[in-house]
Structure 1
Amino acid sequence: MQKSRLLTSCVAVVSLITVSGCVTDPNTGQQKVSRTAIGAGVGTLGGLLLGGLIGGGTGRIIGAGIGGLAGGAIGYTMDKQIKELRESTAGSGVDITPTDNGQAILVNLPEGVTFDVASAALQPSFRATLDQIAQSMNQYPNSLIDVYGHTDSTGSDQYNQTLSENRARTVANYLTMQGVSAARIRSQGFGETLPVADNTTEEGRRRNRRVEIKIVPISQDQVQAARQQRQ
């Protein structure tokens, strides 16, 4: 019963945002749900969002000393960070998109520009791009960061799992070395279990070999809730 009421409440909030929060994307001219409007509803939906983070969010918020963003500022801040990330990584092969229904930013690092085949060592030529991504994270400190490693289906399950974990850890460690608080970052490998394309084709396998960085802005309400849970 409680789960049902929670689901109903979330649907109601999403419906309200969808009706009242549509704007025109300045880059495409298309109508979309405003992330500023979504930000105003983060207090209600935040628990679901934090539940999707590696290891949850409460301890990480407290450990990182995050102050949080005002709910109405989250959308504007996300749009600004996305724009700046796209500009600073242009031509690198990195893809920057909103994710989690506009609640987070996904930075997709394809294998071809990040790692050599079957290796978890960063390509030296890619470090400058990852420096730009780390700089953005330091400039926008009110967020938690998940790093996910993925492979294609070639090779054994265990090999792919280990490779994905090592690559995710390599990226997470590099971000920490560039000054991003380690308390904000978690990494996890998923092996071949979460493909985004068909593993029966070379193009599909290429797309599946990737590391993803999810940047999740944190609101002041979420910070307050985390502190209360720790009391």
Structure 2
Amino acid sequence: MAALRTISVLACTAVFTVGCATNPQTGEREAGKTATYGGLGALAGAAVGALASKDDRGKGALIGAAVGGAAGAGYGYYVDKQEAQLRQSMQGTGVDVQRQGDQLSLVMPGNITFATNSSEITSGFYSTLNTVAKSLQQYDKSLVDVIGHTDSVGSYDYNLQLSQRRAQSVLNYLAGQGVAYNRLTARGMGPSQPIADNTSDAGRAQNRRVEIKLAPLPNTQY
């Protein structure tokens, strides 16, 4: 019974340890989806570790919980690391790194990516895309969806085609920098998904953007 109580205490401690993630922006510890999966993995790992370590069940539980927590966190833990790297490398570039659940997105304002009515990437943005490509190569277990958006000025069909060409330009550049082509998709949404009011200059500027959304590759172990 004493050994079981020790295992329980150590397992709970390990759950608490792996069940918190550090917010890259604030530096504070907080619970999240990664924490939930990690906590469940820690419980399972603690049980296995305790059974495997006959001489010191308490120590075995702690080790098993740590390993199980990392494995249980899965894609969420994987994205945590890439998010931290991208937030650091994108500082000062004008690219906004966004996180919603396990989906990581890079939002690239149109004014730093393309000239007006053009789908040719501005030369000043090459270095930023080079950094993005390096991250996508290092963290290669994700699908990369490149999505072009425009404001509502002009015809819908023209904007739809322009947004598609812009998304394809970014895709081609990333592929040229070594990102596997079979991970990449490009699509244009035109003005159909505004994030700001199209009646103002500031709002239209926000709507002109390219987004890179990352999602887990199917049938992949993380």
Which residue, out of 22, 25, 42, partners 2:23? 25
Partner of 1:223: 219
Shift of 1:26: 5.3
Partner of 2:96: 95
What CA RMSD, in Å, does the superposition of the two structures yield over aligned residues?
2.5
- 1:23 and 1:34 in contact (8 A); partners too: no
Moved beyond 6 Å, runs of 4+: none
Matches within 5 A, 1:15-164: 25=23, 27-28=25-26, 29=28, 31-37=30-36, 71-99=72-100, 102-164=101-163
- Where relative contact order (Cα < 8 A, 6+ residues apart) is larger, the structure is 1
Matches within 5 A, 1:147-186: 147-186=146-185
SS in 2 for 1:195: coil
> 1:104/1:39 Cα in 2 relative to 1: closer, same or farther (>3 Å)?
farther
User: What is the distance in 1 between the residues matched to 2:119 and 2:155?
Assistant: 17
Name stretches of at least 5 consecutive residues in structure 1 with no aligned partner: 1-20, 42-68, 226-231
User: What is the distance in 2 between the residues matched to 1:202 and 1:145?
Assistant: 30
User: What is the distance in 2 between the residues matched to 1:148 and 1:155?
Assistant: 19
User: What is the distance in 2 between the residues matched to 1:80 and 1:87?
Assistant: 11
> 1:110/1:181 Cα in 2 relative to 1: closer, same or farther (>3 Å)?
same
The superposition leaves residues 9-51 of structure 1 with CA deviations (integer Å, 9 ceiling, x where unpaired) of xxxxxxxxxxxx665635323745233435899xxxxxxxxxx
Shift of 1:73: 3.2
Name stretches of at least 5 consecutive residues in structure 2 with no aligned partner: 1-18, 41-69
> 1:136/1:158 Cα in 2 relative to 1: closer, same or farther (>3 Å)?
same
Matches within 5 A, 1:209-220: 209-218=208-217
Q: What amino acid is aligned across from residue 23 of structure 2 in structure 1? A: D
- 2:161 and 2:188 in contact (8 A); partners too: yes
User: What is the distance in 2 between the residues matched to 1:116 and 1:76?
Assistant: 37
- 1:36 and 1:73 in contact (8 A); partners too: no
User: What is the distance in 2 between the residues matched to 1:105 and 1:75?
Assistant: 10
User: What is the distance in 1 between the residues matched to 2:39 and 2:165?
Assistant: 37
User: What is the distance in 2 between the residues matched to 1:175 and 1:40?
Assistant: 36
2:182 equivalent to 1:191: no
> 1:97/1:115 Cα in 2 relative to 1: closer, same or farther (>3 Å)?
same
Higher-Rg structure is 2
The superposition leaves residues 171-203 of structure 1 with CA deviations (integer Å, 9 ceiling, x where unpaired) of 011010000000001010000000011101111
How many residue pairs are counted as aligned between the two chains? 174
TM-score (norm 1): 0.68
Q: What amino acid is aligned across from residue 99 of structure 2 in structure 1? A: P
Q: Once the two structures are aligned, what percentage of the paired residues are identical?
A: 43
Shift of 1:92: 0.8
Partner of 2:3: none
